[in-house]
Structure 1
Amino acid sequence: MSSISTKASHGSQHSHEKPLYSTSHNIGGKFSQPKVQHRKGLLGTLARHQIDAPLVAILTILGTYALFPNSFARKFLFFQEYDPVTNTYEKSWEDLYFCLFWVTAFTFLRAAVMTYILMPMAARLGATTDRSILRFAEQGWICIYYSCSWVLGMYCIQLTPTWNNWFVWFHTDQFFDSYPLTALPVITKYYYWLQFSFWIQQMFVLCIEAPRKDFLAMISHHLVTVSLIICSFLLDVTTFGTAVFVSMDLADIVLSLGKCLKYIGMPDSICDPVFACFMFIWIYTRHFLYGHIIYAWTIYAGEYYSKSTHYTIIGLLLVLQSLMFFWLWSIFRIVYKMFASKGGVVDDRSEDEEETVTAPEHVHHNTKHRR
């Protein structure tokens, strides 16, 4: 889940102001690659090689599988415990190979899409500083991924008896239908493990790239989320996990879109309605719908698990909800500042970010300096 603060640099700066990040300079009629500083040590090395190192690993696995289809490489690409009669996959510890491959793949895809698609796009759309270009790329990737994952997740949840309607998405008394879910439909199995891989990769990126002001809140959120995913696997309640995914992903799509619009200098008349839409979706999905999930677990799970297991999951669900309320407070604070300043949505985090930023290796983009 992305953090709540939403501001980007506007298209113009006063001549006496020093930008947080330098823009690319026109040298000899060509735009030079901007100077991007990285963290030192092992973390900096990992941050600089988010494209080439994963690509080598991916090509090695794909090449091995192409030459030797029945080799060990197959485990990285496909699940193993398939039942052709029911068209489902059983649980297996070998599924972790699939997860490892996709953590690597998501690292490569994120860095490559940011570097070669989203950063040039940001420059063409009007982003004027290295910072705004990098942030546009980060949020653009989040918007793309969550758009895909939310659509696929909604498809998966509608295949289960849990689905209710478009107002209250879940039948709370159906979460334990067909319990235990040791076997999953093909589409659900791939969706769930791709989501798990994505969250592991998100934690990896959060640790290797420059820390933000809300780092502790974000890493806490990621740890709780990954813990809940692991518990859903172990306790055979992946329907709960899918419900949590779809109730969380929608708000991030709109939030990331709104941030992208800010980073390219779109006027407040466009950005503010997007932010208002985000506020409504946040409250509806992350408090109303997610509240139904907590209620379902609290009321019905005690019949299937011990008290310690039951209350441990309740604790994790409530910690996640507490973080949602923490960010809801940030949303209201932003709204207050927006009305108080009459200057549109502002970012109370950006001023506290370090001036040193990290980016994938081989970051190439052109930016035009505007007065």
Structure 2
Amino acid sequence: MAKDEPSQTVTELNACVSTGHRPSAKETTFREWVVENQIGISLTILSMLLAIHHLYPSLRPYTTPFFQLSYYQPSQGVYIQGWDDIYFVLSSAIAFTAIRAIAIDWILRPLALHAGLKRKASVRFAEQGWMWLYYAFFCTFGMYIWSHSYYWMDFSAIWNEWPGRGVSGMLKWYLLAQLAFWIQQIFVINVEERRKDHYQMFTHHIITSALLSSAYIYSFYNVSNVVLCLMDIVDLLLPTAKILKYFKYELACNITFGTFMVTWLITRHIMYPRLCWSIFKDVPARMSYGCYSGTTAEMISTDGYPDRLTHLFYPFLDLDGPICMNRTIKWIFLSLLLALQVLSLIWFTMVIRVAVGVLRTGNAEDTRSDDEDEVETSKDGAIGNAPISDNTNIEWRRSNGSSTVRPRTRGRVRLGEQSDRKALLGRIGCDKPT
């Protein structure tokens, strides 16, 4: 029995320790680890590619497509499509992940805290600040391309050069970078804490990426440029209004919100339907139905239906093969664009409800007051670069002077009986640029 005493004593000590009041450490999941290390993971991948590119010259034909546009045609001074474009999109998506995390964690959030915003408000500001930076650049860049094109404000001219595969370097980079951004958004919403509208946003990002990639493969460069410009200008104004709200510039916030509404109406419900009408009316007139050569862009057959379904995938299967245009293809793209218009109408209805509240009170207030920062538990904070709660939501409502803090359910959007008074703008337009 004497030999058993030491082990018995150890057992008792372990029991005492295990029944203590020390909190047990929560095991980090793989998803949380990825979120916490977005910067390191992204920069490591890019650094490895750069190292291989510079240290092993024999491998540069395989690494160059990750860092520069491929398929330049010196004789024509344009670029064409090719499978190596996929590598550029992938590396750009990784770069967006790093840039977003660096901007939020190292620049925007410290700036907000230095300016006096509380913890939760600083997270919200950082998220919206990143969206503002992205759309400010790409909206300006896209408008520059459109305004210097032959189809500026002439929707019927968009279809003149189809199915020519040549595209300028600026337009190719613009389209591939936009596609990379939305692929990166698919990654973000799946690794960060899932929100109530996860599947809605996931579906939206999938459709957006599919539209951009399909339009690129079908050489619909010009219409992609126009659609993105019409959407991005709205997506720039909404983060602007939110940022002004966080810094309590009420008048400027309300003026920006009014500009946001007018711009939304003009771009998404006047100009965008005109573009859809141009697809319906002008495509048959400017694009003769039939099949064209993928290399010379010359018509090789007046029959737009060489088979039942395979011709729809000709451009995907062989970029140098034939590309066909017929009523089915026209209606596939048109139907998807019209579906986005239906969604925009639903969102605009929510915007009008917000406007009614602003006109009644003359003031806009975020119901998640900064006082909530002190009462929210740590699980509602931010994990690494990604806030768990939906910090992009702005609620515009009547200010009654009450300082009562109402309990929130992680800032999720509710569209039930409270939708008349609470129109949350975080998911209106801001995450739906196309």
TM-score range, shorter chain: 0.7 to 0.9
Match of 2:253 in 1: 271
So what's the TM-score if we normalise by structure 2?
Answer: 0.67
Letter in 2 for 1:73: T
Match of 2:384 in 1: 360
Could you tell me which of 97, 117, 120 is aligned with 1:107? 97
Deviations 1:205-255 (A, max 9, x none): 122223344444433332222121122112211111011111111111111
Letter in 2 for 1:84: P
Whole-angstrom distance in 2 between the partners of 1:287 and 1:347: 29
Contact 1:50 1:361 in 2 (8 A): yes
Whole-angstrom distance in 2 between the partners of 1:325 and 1:40: 42
Unaligned runs of 5+ in 2: 1-25, 290-324, 388-434
So what's the TM-score if we normalise by structure 1?
Answer: 0.78
Contact 1:154 1:246 in 2 (8 A): yes
Could you tell me which of 122, 126, 132 is aligned with 1:137? 126
Deviations 1:149-178 (A, max 9, x none): 111111222343210xxxxxx212111111
Mapped pair 1:46 → 2:30: no
Q: Where does 1:190-205 land on structure 2 (aligned, <5 Å)?
A: 190-205=173-188
Match of 1:208 in 2: 191
Could you tell me which of 251, 255, 262 is aligned with 1:280? 262
Contact 2:145 2:171 in 1 (8 A): yes
Match of 1:24 in 2: none
Match of 2:112 in 1: 122
Letter in 2 for 1:283: L
Whole-angstrom distance in 1 between the partners of 2:128 and 2:74: 40
Deviations 1:95-124 (A, max 9, x none): 100000000000000001111100011112
Q: 1:40 to 1:326 in 2, by over 3 A?
A: farther
Contact 2:32 2:383 in 1 (8 A): no
- Shift of residue 138 of structure 1? 0.9
Q: Secondary structure at the match of 1:183?
A: coil
Letter in 1 for 2:343: L
Q: 1:247 to 1:270 in 2, by over 3 A?
A: same
Q: 1:44 to 1:341 in 2, by over 3 A?
A: farther
Match of 1:243 in 2: 226
Mapped pair 1:66 → 2:51: no
Mapped pair 1:57 → 2:57: no
Deviations 1:280-329 (A, max 9, x none): 11111122221222111121234442222111111110111111112111
Contact 2:35 2:386 in 1 (8 A): no
Match of 2:312 in 1: none
Mapped pair 1:89 → 2:109: no
Q: Secondary structure at the match of 1:79?
A: coil
Letter in 1 for 2:155: T
Match of 2:210 in 1: 227
Q: Secondary structure at the match of 2:352?
A: helix
Letter in 2 for 1:322: V
Please identify, of 133-142 and 199-208, the stretch whose mean Cα deviation from structure 2 is larger. 199-208
Deviations 1:59-103 (A, max 9, x none): 111222223353522121122211112221111011100000000
Whole-angstrom distance in 2 between the partners of 1:211 and 1:280: 32
- Shift of residue 357 of structure 1? 4.5
Q: Which runs of 4+ in 1 moved over 4 A?
A: 345-348
Whole-angstrom distance in 2 between the partners of 1:287 and 1:362: 33
Percent of matched pairs sharing the same residue:
28
Match of 2:333 in 1: 313
Q: Secondary structure at the match of 2:167?
A: strand
Contact 2:72 2:78 in 1 (8 A): yes
Count of residues in correspondence between the two structures: 316
Please identify, of 38-47 and 270-279, the stretch whose mean Cα deviation from structure 2 is larger. 38-47
Whole-angstrom distance in 2 between the partners of 1:177 and 1:359: 50
Q: 1:138 to 1:308 in 2, by over 3 A?
A: same
Contact 1:83 1:90 in 2 (8 A): yes
Letter in 2 for 1:161: Y
Letter in 2 for 1:124: H
Contact 1:210 1:357 in 2 (8 A): no
Contact 2:81 2:217 in 1 (8 A): no
Match of 1:33 in 2: none
Higher Rg? 2
